[in-house]
Amino acid sequence: MVPSFRKFVGMVTLVIFVIVYAFIAMVIGDMTLQQSSNLVRFAYFAVAGLAWVVPAGAIIWWMEKGGKNRT
């Protein structure tokens, strides 16, 4: 795959993933934690707010792995 096209596909995938992930995490948190304490809600949103980094890192790794010249 051409590196510029790989980066374009990765960028579009990353943007869509972050938007969908944020929406799903917000809905799950709102639906399941309404009666929970502030500490539990804070902990959930702290973990959910950082959990997207791992899959996003995998997408970025995929985008960059084909960009180097292999000699």
Domain boundaries along the sequence of the chain: 3-65
pLDDT at res. 60 = 93
Nearest to 50 by CA among 15, 14, 18, 11: 18
Computed from CA positions of residues 63, 65, 68, 70, in that sequence, does the dihedral angle turn out positive or negative?
negative
* pLDDT tens track for 1-53: 787 899 999 999 999 999 999 999 999 999 999 999 999 999 999 999 999 99
Whole-model pTM? Answer: 0.80
pLDDT at res. 71 = 46
